[in-house]
A = this chain, B = another copy of it.
Amino acid sequence: MASLDARATPGYPGEGKADADQHREQVGEQLSELQERLYAAGREDEKAPSVLVILQGMDTSGKGGVIRHAIGMVDPQGVQFTSFKTPTKEEREHDFLWRIEKALPEPGMIGIFDRSQYEDVLIVRVEDLVPAQEWEKRYDIINKFEADVVARGTRIIKCFLNVSKAEQQERLLERLNNPEKYWKYNPGDVDARLQWDEYQAAYADALERCNTDVAPWYVVPADRKWYRNWAVAQLLLETLEEMDLSWPEADFDVAEEIERVTAAS
Protein backbone atom coordinates (compact mmCIF):
# COMPACT_ATOMS: atom_id res chain seq x y z
CA MET A 1 0.00 0.00 0.00
CA ALA A 2 2.80 2.38 0.93
CA SER A 3 4.12 2.18 -2.63
CA LEU A 4 0.90 3.54 -4.16
CA ASP A 5 1.24 7.24 -4.91
CA ALA A 6 -1.86 9.09 -3.70
CA ARG A 7 -0.86 12.19 -5.67
CA ALA A 8 -0.46 10.45 -9.02
CA THR A 9 -2.74 11.27 -11.97
CA PRO A 10 -2.57 8.21 -14.26
CA GLY A 11 -4.44 8.47 -17.54
CA TYR A 12 -5.43 12.11 -17.11
CA PRO A 13 -5.51 13.64 -20.59
CA GLY A 14 -5.10 17.31 -19.63
CA GLU A 15 -2.59 19.58 -17.97
CA GLY A 16 -3.85 19.46 -14.39
CA LYS A 17 -6.20 21.20 -12.03
CA ALA A 18 -6.67 24.16 -14.36
CA ASP A 19 -8.41 22.15 -17.07
CA ALA A 20 -9.98 19.53 -14.80
CA ASP A 21 -13.51 20.94 -14.85
CA GLN A 22 -13.44 21.00 -18.61
CA HIS A 23 -12.26 17.40 -18.88
CA ARG A 24 -14.71 16.17 -16.28
CA GLU A 25 -17.59 17.89 -18.04
CA GLN A 26 -16.50 16.35 -21.33
CA VAL A 27 -16.69 12.93 -19.73
CA GLY A 28 -20.04 13.97 -18.23
CA GLU A 29 -21.58 14.64 -21.63
CA GLN A 30 -20.61 11.22 -22.95
CA LEU A 31 -21.69 9.60 -19.69
CA SER A 32 -25.04 11.29 -19.93
CA GLU A 33 -25.87 9.79 -23.30
CA LEU A 34 -24.69 6.28 -22.48
CA GLN A 35 -26.46 6.32 -19.14
CA GLU A 36 -29.69 7.22 -20.92
CA ARG A 37 -29.25 4.21 -23.20
CA LEU A 38 -28.70 1.98 -20.19
CA TYR A 39 -31.78 3.41 -18.49
CA ALA A 40 -33.84 3.03 -21.66
CA ALA A 41 -32.79 -0.62 -21.92
CA GLY A 42 -33.97 -1.13 -18.34
CA ARG A 43 -37.41 0.25 -19.14
CA GLU A 44 -37.87 -2.13 -22.04
CA ASP A 45 -36.22 -5.32 -20.88
CA GLU A 46 -36.23 -6.81 -17.41
CA LYS A 47 -32.99 -8.59 -18.26
CA ALA A 48 -31.19 -5.37 -19.14
CA PRO A 49 -27.72 -4.96 -17.64
CA SER A 50 -26.81 -2.64 -14.78
CA VAL A 51 -23.67 -1.13 -13.28
CA LEU A 52 -22.50 -1.06 -9.68
CA VAL A 53 -19.88 1.43 -8.48
CA ILE A 54 -18.39 0.54 -5.10
CA LEU A 55 -16.62 3.37 -3.27
CA GLN A 56 -14.25 2.53 -0.43
CA GLY A 57 -11.62 4.62 1.31
CA MET A 58 -10.48 6.10 4.60
CA ASP A 59 -12.35 9.09 6.03
CA THR A 60 -11.83 12.25 3.93
CA SER A 61 -10.81 10.17 0.89
CA GLY A 62 -13.76 11.76 -0.86
CA LYS A 63 -16.56 9.25 -1.36
CA GLY A 64 -19.03 12.10 -0.94
CA GLY A 65 -17.09 14.36 -3.30
CA VAL A 66 -17.07 11.68 -5.99
CA ILE A 67 -20.81 11.21 -5.64
CA ARG A 68 -21.40 14.94 -5.89
CA HIS A 69 -19.02 15.78 -8.70
CA ALA A 70 -18.72 12.59 -10.76
CA ILE A 71 -21.95 10.64 -10.23
CA GLY A 72 -23.78 13.98 -9.96
CA MET A 73 -23.28 14.46 -13.72
CA VAL A 74 -25.64 11.57 -14.43
CA ASP A 75 -29.46 11.77 -14.51
CA PRO A 76 -30.52 11.10 -10.90
CA GLN A 77 -33.44 9.01 -12.16
CA GLY A 78 -30.99 6.37 -13.32
CA VAL A 79 -28.98 6.19 -10.10
CA GLN A 80 -29.67 4.04 -7.02
CA PHE A 81 -27.61 5.31 -4.15
CA THR A 82 -26.94 3.34 -0.94
CA SER A 83 -24.80 4.34 2.01
CA PHE A 84 -23.82 1.46 4.28
CA LYS A 85 -23.46 2.51 7.88
CA THR A 86 -23.08 0.53 11.11
CA PRO A 87 -25.45 -2.41 10.58
CA THR A 88 -28.87 -2.08 12.18
CA LYS A 89 -30.27 -4.68 14.53
CA GLU A 90 -32.22 -6.24 11.67
CA GLU A 91 -29.15 -6.32 9.44
CA ARG A 92 -27.08 -7.94 12.18
CA GLU A 93 -29.62 -10.74 12.40
CA HIS A 94 -28.81 -11.69 8.80
CA ASP A 95 -25.75 -12.74 6.87
CA PHE A 96 -23.41 -9.79 6.09
CA LEU A 97 -24.36 -9.92 2.39
CA TRP A 98 -28.10 -9.67 3.08
CA ARG A 99 -28.25 -5.88 3.04
CA ILE A 100 -25.89 -5.77 0.05
CA GLU A 101 -28.04 -8.10 -2.05
CA LYS A 102 -31.12 -5.97 -1.30
CA ALA A 103 -29.38 -2.82 -2.54
CA LEU A 104 -28.10 -4.18 -5.88
CA PRO A 105 -29.06 -2.00 -8.85
CA GLU A 106 -32.11 -2.93 -10.88
CA PRO A 107 -31.86 -3.49 -14.66
CA GLY A 108 -30.86 -0.29 -16.44
CA MET A 109 -29.68 1.41 -13.28
CA ILE A 110 -26.34 2.59 -11.96
CA GLY A 111 -25.96 1.59 -8.32
CA ILE A 112 -23.60 3.54 -6.09
CA PHE A 113 -22.38 2.01 -2.85
CA ASP A 114 -20.86 4.40 -0.33
CA ARG A 115 -19.02 1.69 1.61
CA SER A 116 -20.06 -1.91 0.96
CA GLN A 117 -19.53 -5.57 1.79
CA TYR A 118 -15.85 -4.69 2.21
CA GLU A 119 -16.55 -3.05 5.58
CA ASP A 120 -16.99 -6.63 6.78
CA VAL A 121 -13.31 -7.33 6.16
CA LEU A 122 -12.11 -3.81 7.07
CA ILE A 123 -13.59 -2.19 10.18
CA VAL A 124 -14.84 -5.59 11.32
CA ARG A 125 -11.28 -6.93 11.16
CA VAL A 126 -9.51 -3.89 12.61
CA GLU A 127 -12.01 -3.48 15.43
CA ASP A 128 -12.14 -7.22 16.07
CA LEU A 129 -15.92 -7.30 15.71
CA VAL A 130 -16.00 -10.97 14.71
CA PRO A 131 -13.41 -13.73 15.25
CA ALA A 132 -10.60 -13.95 12.70
CA GLN A 133 -11.73 -17.36 11.44
CA GLU A 134 -15.01 -15.76 10.46
CA TRP A 135 -13.76 -12.71 8.53
CA GLU A 136 -11.03 -14.84 7.00
CA LYS A 137 -13.71 -16.79 5.11
CA ARG A 138 -15.33 -13.65 3.80
CA TYR A 139 -12.85 -12.89 1.01
CA ASP A 140 -13.86 -16.06 -0.81
CA ILE A 141 -17.52 -15.51 0.00
CA ILE A 142 -17.33 -11.98 -1.45
CA ASN A 143 -15.58 -13.25 -4.57
CA LYS A 144 -18.27 -15.85 -5.15
CA PHE A 145 -21.00 -13.32 -4.48
CA GLU A 146 -19.54 -10.78 -6.90
CA ALA A 147 -19.06 -13.43 -9.59
CA ASP A 148 -22.72 -14.30 -9.21
CA VAL A 149 -23.79 -10.65 -9.39
CA VAL A 150 -21.73 -10.19 -12.57
CA ALA A 151 -23.21 -13.37 -14.06
CA ARG A 152 -26.67 -11.92 -13.46
CA GLY A 153 -25.79 -8.93 -15.67
CA THR A 154 -24.24 -6.29 -13.42
CA ARG A 155 -20.84 -4.74 -14.16
CA ILE A 156 -18.95 -4.00 -10.95
CA ILE A 157 -16.49 -1.11 -10.63
CA LYS A 158 -14.65 -1.23 -7.31
CA CYS A 159 -12.82 1.99 -6.44
CA PHE A 160 -10.44 2.35 -3.56
CA LEU A 161 -9.99 6.08 -3.06
CA ASN A 162 -6.41 6.25 -1.89
CA VAL A 163 -5.75 9.26 0.31
CA SER A 164 -2.35 9.66 2.02
CA LYS A 165 -2.01 9.94 5.75
CA ALA A 166 -0.60 13.48 5.47
CA GLU A 167 -3.45 14.64 3.22
CA GLN A 168 -6.01 13.12 5.56
CA GLN A 169 -4.59 15.15 8.44
CA GLU A 170 -4.85 18.33 6.39
CA ARG A 171 -8.47 17.58 5.46
CA LEU A 172 -9.48 16.79 9.02
CA LEU A 173 -7.93 20.07 10.20
CA GLU A 174 -9.72 21.90 7.40
CA ARG A 175 -13.02 20.58 8.74
CA LEU A 176 -12.12 21.67 12.24
CA ASN A 177 -11.11 25.13 11.11
CA ASN A 178 -14.31 25.87 9.19
CA PRO A 179 -17.65 25.98 11.04
CA GLU A 180 -19.41 25.14 7.74
CA LYS A 181 -17.59 21.82 7.80
CA TYR A 182 -18.01 20.83 11.46
CA TRP A 183 -20.86 18.50 10.49
CA LYS A 184 -18.48 16.47 8.34
CA TYR A 185 -16.19 15.87 11.29
CA ASN A 186 -16.60 12.96 13.64
CA PRO A 187 -14.26 12.35 16.61
CA GLY A 188 -14.34 8.68 15.60
CA ASP A 189 -12.38 9.64 12.45
CA VAL A 190 -9.29 10.17 14.61
CA ASP A 191 -9.73 6.79 16.26
CA ALA A 192 -9.61 5.18 12.81
CA ARG A 193 -6.61 7.38 11.93
CA LEU A 194 -4.77 6.08 15.00
CA GLN A 195 -5.15 2.61 13.48
CA TRP A 196 -3.95 3.73 10.07
CA ASP A 197 -1.50 0.85 9.59
CA GLU A 198 -4.06 -1.77 10.61
CA TYR A 199 -6.51 -0.33 8.09
CA GLN A 200 -3.89 -0.22 5.37
CA ALA A 201 -3.10 -3.88 6.03
CA ALA A 202 -6.80 -4.77 5.92
CA TYR A 203 -7.22 -2.80 2.65
CA ALA A 204 -4.17 -4.46 1.17
CA ASP A 205 -5.67 -7.92 1.79
CA ALA A 206 -9.09 -6.94 0.48
CA LEU A 207 -7.58 -5.41 -2.66
CA GLU A 208 -5.37 -8.41 -3.28
CA ARG A 209 -7.68 -11.24 -2.37
CA CYS A 210 -10.75 -9.78 -4.05
CA ASN A 211 -9.08 -8.48 -7.19
CA THR A 212 -10.79 -10.89 -9.57
CA ASP A 213 -11.09 -10.90 -13.35
CA VAL A 214 -14.83 -10.29 -13.23
CA ALA A 215 -14.67 -7.62 -10.54
CA PRO A 216 -11.23 -6.01 -10.39
CA TRP A 217 -10.24 -3.25 -7.96
CA TYR A 218 -9.17 0.18 -9.14
CA VAL A 219 -6.87 2.14 -6.85
CA VAL A 220 -7.79 5.79 -7.46
CA PRO A 221 -5.20 8.28 -6.20
CA ALA A 222 -7.28 10.67 -4.11
CA ASP A 223 -4.97 13.38 -2.78
CA ARG A 224 -5.96 15.59 -5.71
CA LYS A 225 -9.72 15.95 -5.65
CA TRP A 226 -9.98 17.09 -9.26
CA TYR A 227 -8.16 13.96 -10.44
CA ARG A 228 -10.15 11.62 -8.20
CA ASN A 229 -13.48 12.97 -9.50
CA TRP A 230 -12.40 12.81 -13.13
CA ALA A 231 -10.98 9.31 -12.69
CA VAL A 232 -14.15 7.75 -11.27
CA ALA A 233 -16.27 9.40 -13.96
CA GLN A 234 -13.84 8.08 -16.57
CA LEU A 235 -13.98 4.53 -15.16
CA LEU A 236 -17.76 4.66 -15.32
CA LEU A 237 -17.63 5.97 -18.87
CA GLU A 238 -15.24 3.24 -20.01
CA THR A 239 -17.49 0.59 -18.49
CA LEU A 240 -20.57 1.96 -20.25
CA GLU A 241 -18.64 2.14 -23.52
CA GLU A 242 -17.61 -1.51 -23.22
CA MET A 243 -21.24 -2.49 -22.74
CA ASP A 244 -21.94 -1.38 -26.30
CA LEU A 245 -25.50 -0.31 -25.53
CA SER A 246 -27.96 0.35 -28.33
CA TRP A 247 -31.30 2.12 -28.12
CA PRO A 248 -34.23 -0.26 -27.63
CA GLU A 249 -36.29 -1.14 -30.70
CA ALA A 250 -39.90 0.04 -30.87
CA ASP A 251 -42.29 -2.59 -29.51
CA PHE A 252 -45.18 -0.97 -31.39
CA ASP A 253 -45.99 -0.18 -35.01
CA VAL A 254 -44.37 3.23 -35.55
CA ALA A 255 -46.37 4.22 -38.65
CA GLU A 256 -49.62 3.23 -37.00
CA GLU A 257 -48.84 5.24 -33.89
CA ILE A 258 -47.91 8.30 -35.94
CA GLU A 259 -51.34 8.05 -37.54
CA ARG A 260 -53.07 7.69 -34.17
CA VAL A 261 -51.26 10.70 -32.69
CA THR A 262 -51.89 12.80 -35.77
CA ALA A 263 -55.59 11.93 -35.66
CA ALA A 264 -55.91 12.72 -31.95
CA SER A 265 -55.78 16.50 -32.14
Contacts and interface: CB of A to CB of B under 8 A. Distances in A.
Interface string A217-244: 0000000000000000000000000000
Contacts of A169: 261-262, 264-265
Contact of A173 (B43, B183, B261): B261
Interface string A166-202: 1001001100110110111101001001100000000
A264 B193 contact: yes
Contacts of A64: 77
A190 B247 contact: no
A262 B254 CA distance: 67
A2 to B, nearest CB: 16
Say which size band chain A's interface belongs to: 35 or more
A179 B67 CA distance: 31
A72 to B, nearest CB: 6
Interface string A6-20: 000000000000000
A258 B75 contact: no
Contacts of A194: 264
Nearest to A112: B76
Contacts of A180: 247
A44 interface: yes
Contacts of A250: 179, 182, 185
A134 interface: no
Given A77-B67, A81-B76, A257-B190, A185 B262 contact: no
A114 B87 CA distance: 30
